[in-house]
């Protein structure tokens, strides 16, 4: 990549204040003016919260010279396959992006800058499209339709466990997630962790554990309405997943629906190494908020080397003091130096836990949920 191009692009981005609301509005108006057919890909309400494409695009373009960006773009290209977009759509987005930056840097915009933008965008686009081409050639579906076959609401009405059958084999690794779409919510895709219902990889069902998010669009719909017969769309499985390569003991810390990837990981570890010692810490905001307890109790009774600790604040109004106590237990509790630790749950809990463990009780390996967006506790 030409360093001068990168510098010109970064300079104009800085001048345009590219995350500014005017640039965002101009971009979408330009794009949907030229290509009204692309509007269907985006949420019905394009509030500032949802104007993610431009922010994300600008971030990627701004960091194109950073190590790892090209492989990130390949992943992004694969991830975009679910939108069913073509090279001509990429070109339209590129034109609108460049028009928005030009419009907001009138004094410094010139042919060199325009050429630099074209080069940089083309590189990003071609990297994404090359990955798309490889996945198409390998016959990997762009998305899967999955029919809901069962629905179980926990007793608080806070978490629903949905089982769905994909229309074709859906391969995923423990700890991975899928972007999920419901046809009633245009343009809305949210990540949910993937679980095998009975932890038996030979069956085709996929289980999703969905916590109700106050005023959340997809989680509310899934908790209240999704029922047998509904069809969801699943993206290709994403995320690295996790699997220990040795037989060292494992500690799992899972808060809220962080139990979903944790459950998939525990099942995989028990399958690979039935004698492995596993400590599970499940954290909930109150005693009533533990869900999937029957499954957990079954695991405890079948596997004597698996121990489960349930953590919840005795007084649901004093959650903060409880969180501090939990972190203190992790810092001062049993030494983790010979253990793998896997952490999943709301980003705040995951990042505090990582910090505590890295500073005060470093384990043999530490793996955690991707901290992309909100997961409720
Ligand atoms: C890797 C990963 C795995 C995940 N796995 C799971 C899982 O297994 N189970 C699970 O339940 N969740 C999981 N999540 C979280 C999940 O993806 C969703 O973020 C969650 O369900 C909320 O989505 P929603 O559409 O209901 O809420 P959104 O509609 O996205 O709303 C989220 C919050 O933002 C607020 N909001 C929305 N729009 C606006 C606006 N315009 N202005 C101001 N505020 C606004 C809403 O009021 C709400 O409180 C995971 C997240 C990640 C990153
Ligand atoms: C080089 C080109 C592109 C880059 C670098 C890029 C990057 C991104 C990134 C990083 C996200 C956010 C990831 C996420 O929220 O899941 C995103 C979201 C999205 N992208 Fe792209 N993208 C590109 C081209 C396109 C094109 C051509 C389209 C189709 C017209 C498109 C449609 C979308 C949509 C619909 C979203 C979700 C937006 C939302 O939820 O509001 N992207 N893109």
Mean pLDDT of 97-111: 94
Mean pLDDT of 73-92: 95
For residue 125 and ligand 2, the question of a CB distance below 6 A is answered with yes
Ligand 2: distance of its center to the CA of 213 in Å? 24
Ligand 1: distance of its center to the CA of 213 in Å? 6
Rounded Cα distance, 293 and 272, in Å = 23
Closest of 361, 154, 339, 360 to residue 256, by C-alpha = 154
Q: Nearest C-alpha to atom 1 of ligand 1 is from which residue?
A: 370
Note the pLDDT tens digit of each residue in 170-194: 999 999 999 999 999 999 999 999 9
Indicate if the pLDDT at residue 50 is higher than 80. no
Rounded Cα distance, 199 and 107, in Å = 61
Q: Where is average pLDDT lowest: 129-133, 137-141, 152-156, 213-217?
A: 152-156
Q: Among all ligands shown, which has an atom nearest to the Cα of 94?
A: 2
Query: pLDDT band at residue 202, thresholds of 50, 70 and 90?
Result: low
Share of the chain above pLDDT 70, in %: 95
Q: Nearest C-alpha to atom 6 of ligand 2 is from which residue?
A: 57
Kindly report the three-state secondary structure assignment for every residue of 124-139: HHHHHHHHHHHHHHCC
Ligand 1: distance of its center to the CA of 189 in Å? 10
The two tokens of residue 127 are 């990297």
For residue 210 and ligand 1, the question of a CB distance below 6 A is answered with yes
Q: What single string gives the DSSP state of each residue in 275-343?
A: T--EEEEEE-SSGGG--SHHHHHHHHHH-TTEEEEEE--SSTT-HHHHHHHHHHHHHHSS--TT-EEEE
Which pLDDT score, from 0 to 100, does residue 74 have? 93
Query: pLDDT band at residue 208, thresholds of 50, 70 and 90?
Result: very high
Radius of gyration for the alpha carbons in the chain, expressed in angstroms and rounded: 23
Query: pLDDT band at residue 18, thresholds of 50, 70 and 90?
Result: low
Indicate if the pLDDT at residue 372 is higher than 70. no
Q: Nearest C-alpha to atom 36 of ligand 1 is from which residue?
A: 216
For residue 260 and ligand 1, the question of a CB distance below 6 A is answered with yes
For residue 212 and ligand 1, the question of a CB distance below 6 A is answered with no
Indicate if the pLDDT at residue 115 is higher than 60. yes
Instruction: Check residue 69 and give left, alpha or beta (phi > 0: left; psi -120 to 50: alpha).
Output: alpha
**What is the position in ligand 2's atom list of the atom closest to the CA of 31?**
30
Mean pLDDT of 113-142: 95
CB 152 within 8 A of CB 33: no
CB atoms within 10 A of CB 283: 25
The two tokens of residue 340 are 């793998």
For residue 263 and ligand 1, the question of a CB distance below 6 A is answered with no
Q: Among all ligands shown, which has an atom nearest to the Cα of 95?
A: 2
Indicate if the pLDDT at residue 200 is higher than 70. no
CB 349 within 8 A of CB 255: yes
Note the pLDDT tens digit of each residue in 148-168: 999 999 877 899 999 999 999
Considering only residues 156 and 336, tell me which one the structure prediction assigns the higher pLDDT. Answer: 336
Ligand 1: distance of its center to the CA of 191 in Å? 8
Q: Nearest C-alpha to atom 44 of ligand 1 is from which residue?
A: 49
Q: Nearest C-alpha to atom 12 of ligand 1 is from which residue?
A: 375
Residue with tokens 């431009």, as numbered in its chain: 54
Query: pLDDT band at residue 63, thresholds of 50, 70 and 90?
Result: confident
**What is the position in ligand 2's atom list of the atom closest to the CA of 125?**
1
Ligand 2: distance of its center to the CA of 42 in Å? 10
For residue 193 and ligand 1, the question of a CB distance below 6 A is answered with yes
Q: What domains are there in the chain, each with its CATH number?
A: 3-137 (1.10.490.10), 143-235 (2.40.30.10), 250-368 (3.40.50.80)
Q: What single string gives the DSSP state of each residue in 35-82?
A: -GGGGGGS-SS--GGG-HHHHHHHHHHHTTTSTTHHHHHHHHHHHHGG
Mean pLDDT of 74-103: 95
Rounded Cα distance, 89 and 95, in Å = 10
Considering only residues 51 and 300, tell me which one the structure prediction assigns the higher pLDDT. Answer: 300
Ligand 1: distance of its center to the CA of 4 in Å? 39
The two tokens of residue 264 are 């998939």
Indicate if the pLDDT at residue 333 is higher than 60. yes
For residue 162 and ligand 1, the question of a CB distance below 6 A is answered with no
Question: Angle 212-213-217 (CA atoms, 0-180°, nearest 5)?
Answer: 100
Rounded Cα distance, 318 and 119, in Å = 55
For residue 57 and ligand 2, the question of a CB distance below 6 A is answered with yes
Q: Among all ligands shown, which has an atom nearest to the Cα of 92?
A: 2
Mean pLDDT of 306-334: 90
Positive/negative CA dihedral, 46, 48, 50, 51: positive
Ligand 2: distance of its center to the CA of 228 in Å? 31
């Amino acid at each position: 990549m030409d360093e001068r191009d990168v510098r010109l692009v970064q300079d104009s981005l800085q001048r345009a204040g590219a995350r500014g609301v005017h640039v965002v509005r101009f971009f979408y108006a330009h794009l949907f003016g030229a290509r009204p057919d692309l509007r269907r890909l985006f949420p019905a309400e394009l509030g500032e919260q949802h104007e993610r494409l431009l922010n994300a695009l600008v971030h990627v373009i701004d960091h194109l010279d950073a190590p790892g960006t090209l492989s990130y773009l390949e992943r992004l290209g694969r991830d975009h396959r679910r939108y069913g977009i073509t090279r001509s759509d990429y070109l339209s987005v590129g034109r609108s992006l460049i028009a928005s930056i030009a419009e907001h840097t009138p004094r410094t915009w010139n042919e060199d800058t325009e050429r630099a933008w074209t080069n940089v965008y083309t590189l990003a686009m071609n990297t994404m499209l090359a990955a798309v081409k490889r996945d198409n050639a390998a016959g990997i579906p762009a998305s899967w339709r999955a029919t809901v076959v069962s629905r179980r609401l926990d007793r608080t009405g806070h978490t629903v466990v949905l089982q769905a059958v994909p229309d074709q084999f859906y391969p995923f690794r423990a700890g991975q997630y899928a972007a999920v779409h419901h046809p009633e919510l245009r343009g809305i895709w949210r990540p949910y962790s993937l679980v095998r219902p009975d932890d038996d990889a030979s069956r085709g069902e996929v289980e999703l554990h969905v916590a109700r998010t106050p005023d959340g669009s997809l989680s509310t719909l899934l908790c209240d309405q999704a029922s047998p017969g509904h069809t969801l769309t699943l993206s290709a499985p994403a995320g690295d997943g996790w699997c220990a390569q040795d037989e060292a003991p494992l500690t799992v810390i899972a808060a809220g629906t962080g139990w979903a990837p944790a459950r998939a990981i525990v099942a995989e570890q028990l399958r690979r190494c039935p004698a492995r010692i596993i400590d599970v810490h499940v954290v909930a905001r109150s005693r009533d908020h533990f869900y999937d307890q029957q499954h957990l109790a079954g695991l405890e009774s079948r596997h004597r080397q698996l121990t489960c600790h349930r953590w919840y604040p005795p007084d649901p109004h004093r959650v903060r003091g409880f969180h501090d106590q939990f972190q203190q237990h992790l810092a001062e509790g049993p030494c983790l130096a010979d253990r793998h630790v896997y952490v999943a749950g709301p980003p705040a809990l995951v990042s505090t836990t990582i910090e505590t463990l890295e500073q005060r009780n470093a384990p043999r390996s530490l793996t955690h949920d991707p901290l992309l967006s909100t997961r409720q506790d």
